[in-house]
Amino acid sequence: MSANQQPKQAGGTLRYSSRPQARRGPGGKLPGWYIRAILKPTPKAFAETSEYARWPLVWTQLIILLLIPLALGGIRLLFHDHSTGINPRSNILFGTISILTVGVSVGATILKAFFVPIIFFVGTALQYGIARILGGRGHYVGHCFSLLLYQLPLSIIGAVIIAVLIILHIQTFFYSPIVTIVLFVYGVIINIIAVMGIHHINQNRATTAVIVPYVLGIIVLGIIVSAVAHTLFNAAHP
């Protein structure tokens, strides 16, 4: 949080002034919000932009987010890149879906179109619910909208980096996971800042709201992987 911000605090609740100047439509302001979200993220900035949250803008950004791995898959196919490095994502669950549905086939497209919105909305709902339990005062649509303000540009940046590696015929199996981890960690940091601004809560509560869903996701993923491995082992050793 910058030094010139003086939010009022009552208990674990912070109050930021959110007076967005509505001269242009929200869609026209998105590029500037993307830049601010990833280069100068502050709770006050996210508190202001969340006031513009609308479901059409949420769905538009989700569609763009869905098209990014498809475009990257097309580049892989065009340049005959068959490595299985993790697709660069600011969200680890999105990366998991990308691994499971590599390619640009009709089946992969349908799977991504089905699972990506579900994973996004479920993960966001968990964050939102925990934030509200901890005293947050934001709205669900504002929460979804604000998270996409950093997830979308980070995904584009990651995709561009991997695309350049593919075009230059540099092995992506090693570098792609590195890009993924760096963007993921940075995304989590921005996520905490965003939750502070959206819900007007302090850093400790925002961190809890962000981290708990990831821990639950890792546990669920571990259970699924263990169940699949157990099933495959039993099938191979009747």
pLDDT band of 12, cuts 50, 70, 90 = low
Q: Per-domain residue ranges for the chain?
A: 28-231
**pLDDT for the residue 212:** 95
pLDDT, tens only, 147-169: 999 999 998 998 888 888 888 87
User: What string of DSSP letters covers 155-218?
Assistant: HHHHHHHHHHHHHTT--HHHHHHHHHHHHHHHHHHHHHHHHHHHHTB-HHHHHHHHHHHHHHHH
Q: Hey, which residues does 13 pair with through a beta bridge?
A: 10, 201
Residue carrying the six token digits 């898959």: 73
The encoded tokens of residue 186 equal 């940075």
For 130, the token pair is: 């925990």
For residue 86, the model assigns a pLDDT of 42
> What pTM does this model have?
0.75
